[in-house]
Structure 1
Amino acid sequence: MKLWQKENTSVSKLIESFTVGRDKEFDQLLAQYDVQGSIAHVTMLGEVGLMTQDEAATAVLALKAIAEEIHQGTFSIQPDVEDVHSQVELLLTERIGDIGKKIHSGRSRNDQVAVDIKLYLRQEILNVKDAVQELFNLLITQSEKYKDHLLPGYTHLQIAMPSSFGLWFGAYAESLVDDLELAAAAYAVANKNPLGSGAGYGSSFPLNRTRTTELLQFGSLNHNSVYAQMTRGKTEKITAFAFSSIAATLSKLAMDCCIYMNQNFGFISFPNELTTGSSIMPHKKNPDVFELIRAKCNRIQSIPNELTLLLNNLPSGYHRDLQLTKEILFPAIEELKACLQLMGVMLEQVQVKENLLADEKYKYLFSVEAVNELVNKGIPFRQAYQEVGNQIEKGVFQFDFSKGLAHTHEGSIGNLGNDAIRKAFNQVVKKF
């Protein structure tokens, strides 16, 4: 069944297969939102007189039954049905007769799929937000737990200055704060209603778009009907940018973990059940989970660019190119949620090595501490720097760090600022 097909017309099977592509696969994900949008639209049609109150009530009841089938997993798009919109309308017509044929009044598949995707993305952004919140809480917990465990800090992959596991975990927690800012912005864009824009140019029917906005609990309308259609693709791209930022944080964290697990570093380890082995080297404990998180998140970071290339030369109005946004973005969302979950599983069971900096090879981490100690005695900084630098060049540098490190400013080893970071995160969460 095709909503656009006329009598005595048919389409080549080859053309149909090519144009439908993988759309049915992703339409299945949109089914609950398609029904949700249809319930709002039908309710509005009954209120403005384009359906009788009884017709609207009958259609809504039948749509709710379909929604329950979707929830139970018994709904599917039949092989000879073009898309989810056609499947829902076909079921309605089979069950309630000609009333089912009335629900498309004042609506196009263009605004149908636009509202379906907005509803889907709005929910998925919330799902990702919840997953980010879980990981954030774990990172803050680990930061506090290991705040007194020192760690070598690096610049240019050279030994630089003392750091701590508390500082390291907390850094990634704060990174998620900024990532979530982008997700909140994407949520605001997805939380606008395109329904009622029709094919992109509105309708001569007296539709009440404010009412469907209320029924679907959108924050506001996409007011201009042309722009409502232009948000198709743009909403996906903005969401992809937000998710790619989260992916970038996960990728960097995964890379750190791969390095820190390396025997030449040996900063962290994990239980055997969380690592894999080699087919010929019995000593291996491979960081496969982190390597795959890194790879998957790097791929996710390519999604905004892929969407840009798909959308960039399209004029206003609907184009079939937009169909491909689903197969580009939807699988990436599932990958991101899986990466967030697995990062949490791993870091919850991380084992941190103690007394790392007692190793002789890390003595130059304390060169800045030695300079600062001289400055505190009244020696000008540049002179103190030269004095310590000369000691290092001569190989006679000595510094006793056992007395502890006096780092007290905000965001330093001795003052992590986790309470402020948590407060900032909670402020962002309120934007959803």
Structure 2
Amino acid sequence: MWGGRFAGGPSAIMREINASIPFDKRLWREDIEASKAHVAMLGRQGVLTASDAQAIAEGLDRVAAEYETNGVPEDWDLEDIHMTTESRLAELIGPVAGRLHTGRSRNDQVATDFKMWVDQAMWQAHDDLHRLQEALVKRAEEHADSIMPGFTHLQTAQPVTLGHHLMAYYEMFERDRSRFVSAAVRLGECPLGSAALAGTGYDLDREFTADLLGFAKGPTRNSLDAVSDRDFALDYLHAASTCAIHLSRLAEEFITWASQPFGFVQMPDTLSTGSSIMPQKKNPDAAELVRGHAGRIIGCATALMVTMKGLPLAYSKDMQDDKPPVFEAADLLTLCLAAMEGMVAGATFRTARMRQAAELGYATATDLADWLVTKADVPFREAHHITGALVRMAEERGCALDQLPLKDMQQVDPRIDASVFDALSVDASVAARKSFGGTAPDQVRARIAEAREALSMEDEE
């Protein structure tokens, strides 16, 4: 390819460090599509004859059919997917294949191919998140009234509903979807036609090429930026990293809830494993791997940021290392989203155990303090102190707050009367949290209805 400049060929080490075909062969569909758009534009502009443009387009279709059937061959002497395709095209149609590269460089070619691939990855993540959200909404609807302890510091705080808890993750994943959408909008400019770095003297119609390839914002406006920009890849990795963090948090909830001390959930058999020595074990391995894969996805984002941070304009060979972290992150994210969808849909929630934990965890202590403020006209700080004393009494006796006798409560503070018991049940506590976005079942159902509409989910009979 570049033998005219060099008297000798590359060393074996240079061949190995320089070749990207082992990983960038994943771009073959985008490379064929972009090449066909480019040659169509060249023919339309009269840069190529109609017969040459047709021969190249037909040849590219033949190469694509071979790749689809047999995969992409790995010849390290050809370095990358671009030269691999062009070389095979020349074998099929002869020297006219060399006209395909008119008015372009591998620099704008790879930027275009990679943008197209990342765009698909963004919409794949968007659609996968949509399915996970649907699973969350369905399970939340089943459990809009199911009471569980809400935690801060992983200590029982206040009672909430399981539906409310699951819908919290719906909101997280909604933000994730929006990040992928906004990133996809930003990458909507086509680099093809920027050539190596300075543009080209050929009469190109870059708007036509951009339109053929579906770049909604048209061609890039600066050729230097176009060939050196990898913001779109970083945008994907940042969105993927945040999404992976959310997936990891949900996975951690399932791992904790599935442990015997909690006993809140039974994981689906299809996403669990056993032990080679302990027959009683049912390990939440899929959830643990989702949690672990988050670290790898974040690592991919870090790797590309470090690669890009010191590069001057325009293209540098360091940028060949842009694709492996994106490919790895996309594969891991797709797998994690599918696994989590399966976990949410297939889990068996032990709602009786959840309710018991809420009742025994003094989750209604805040409700008792609120009752003292509103019904007994006690300043909140004093009410907080009184409630703490009652919690300690219940703890010493091993009972729930609403199981303390009234006379014993009145020994702590005589202003307490029998109506306090109306505030001490977990049901009353949850029902009282009826502010917008609160855990009251009616509020949870309202948010579920909004989510169903946003996701275009059909009502189930």
- With the length of structure 1 as denominator, give the TM-score of the two structures: 0.92
Opposite residue 209 of structure 1, the aligned amino acid is R
After superposition, the Cα gap between the structure-2 partners of 1:300 and 1:74, relative to the gap in structure 1 and judged at 3 Å, is closer
- 1:373 paired to 2:371: yes
Q: Say whether the 8 Å CA contact 2:159–2:358 is kept in structure 1.
A: no
Q: How does 1:225-236 map to 2 (within 5 A)?
A: 225-231=223-229, 233-236=230-233
SS in 2 for 1:214: helix
Q: Which amino acid aligns with 1:401?
A: S
Pick from 204, 207, 212: which aligns with 2:209? 212
C-alpha contact 1:46 1:52 (8 A) present in aligned 2 = yes
Q: Partner of 1:51: helix, strand, or coil?
A: coil
Determine if the alignment matches structure 1 residue 410 to structure 2 residue 409.
Answer: no
Percent pairwise identity: 31
Q: Distance in 1 between matches of 2:379 and 2:365?
A: 13
Q: Which residue of 1 aligns with 2:109?
A: 112
Q: Which one-letter code corresponds to 2:362 in the other structure?
A: Y
Deviation at 1:170, TM superposition (A): 0.7
Question: What is the CA–CA distance in structure 2 between the aligned matches of 1:321 and 1:304, rounded to whole Å?
Answer: 15
Tell me, yes or no, if the aligned pair for 1:24 and 1:83 is still in contact at 8 Å. yes
- For 1:199 and 1:281, locate their aligned partners in 2 and report how far apart those are by CA, in whole Å: 61
* Alignment partner of 1:57 is 2:54: yes
- Residue 391 of structure 1 deviates from its aligned partner by 1.8
**73-82 vs 254-263, greater mean Cα deviation:** 73-82
CA contact (8 A) 1:251 1:298 kept: no
Q: Which moved more, 1:89-98 or 1:394-403?
A: 394-403
**Larger CA deviation: 318-327 vs 282-291:** 282-291
Q: How far is the alpha carbon of 1:44 from its aligned partner?
A: 0.7
8 Å Cα contact 1:248-1:297 kept in structure 2: yes
How far residue 422 of structure 1 moved from its aligned partner, in angstroms, is: 4.7
Pair 1:103–1:287, CA change in 2 (3 A): same
Give the 5 Å matches for 1:145-294: 145-220=142-217, 221-231=219-229, 233-294=230-291
Instruction: Report what 1:430 is aligned to.
Output: none
CA offset at residue 423 of structure 1?
A: 5.1
> Which AA in structure 1 matches 2:214?
Q
Residue type of the partner of 1:371? A
State the partner residue of 1:10.
9
Higher alpha-carbon deviation: 222-231 or 74-83: 74-83
Distance 1:96 1:24, change over 3 A: same
Within 5 A, what are the aligned runs for 1:328-347? 328-347=325-344
Q: 1:73 to 1:137 in 2, by over 3 A?
A: farther
- Paired with 1:241 and 1:360, the residues of 2 have a C-alpha distance of 37
Secondary structure, aligned partner of 1:302: helix
Q: CA RMSD in A?
A: 2.0
8 A contact 2:364–2:426 mirrored in 1: no
1:101-137 Cα distance to aligned partner (Å, 9 max, x none): 1010111111111111001101111111111111111
Residue 318, structure 1, aligned to residue 315, structure 2: yes
Q: Which moved more, 1:58-67 or 1:394-403?
A: 394-403
Cα contact 2:274–2:281 (8 A) shared by 1: yes
The one of 381, 401, 408 equivalent to 2:425 is 401
Q: Deviations 1:374-425 (Å, cap 9, x if unpaired)?
A: 4443625514334323322444843541654323222222212123345566
Count of aligned positions = 421
Moved more, 317-326 or 222-231: 222-231
1: CA distance, partners of 2:358 / 2:119: 53
Q: Which residue of 2 aligns with 1:133?
A: 130
Distance 1:402 1:129 in 2: 37
Contact 2:104 2:195 in 1 (8 A): yes
- Note the residue ranges of structure 2 that are not aligned, 5 or more in a row: 403-420, 457-461
Aligned to 2:99: 102
Which aligned runs of 4 or more in structure 1 are off by greater than 6 angstroms?
A: none
Note the alpha carbon deviations across 1:270-327, whole angstroms, 9 max, x for none: 2444322222322211111111110011221222222111110111110000001111
Q: CA deviation at 1:359?
A: 4.8
For the Cα contact (< 8 Å) 1:303–1:329, is it kept in 2? Answer: yes
SS in 1 for 2:351: coil
- Residue matched to 1:349: 346
Q: Deviations over 1:331-357 (max 9, x none)?
A: 111011011111111221101112232
243-252 vs 68-77, greater mean Cα deviation: 68-77
For the pair shown, the structure with the greater C-alpha radius of gyration is 2
Contact kept, 8 Å, 1:372 with 1:381, in 2: the verdict is: no
Q: Which residue of 2 aligns with 1:420?
A: 450
| Range with bigger deviation, 119-128 or 403-412 | 403-412
Rounded to whole Å, the distance in 2 between the matches of 1:63 and 1:388 is 77
Residue identity matched to 1:38 = S
Contact 1:367 1:388 in 2 (8 A): yes
Provide the TM-score with structure 2 as the length reference: 0.86
The answer as to whether partners of 2:251 and 2:291 remain within 8 angstroms in 1 is yes
- Whole-Å Cα distance in 1 between the matches of residues 280 and 165 of structure 2? 28
Please identify, of 182-191 and 290-299, the stretch whose mean Cα deviation from structure 2 is larger: 182-191
Counterpart code for 2:169: Y
CA distance, structure 2, for counterparts of residue 271 and residue 139 of structure 1:
15
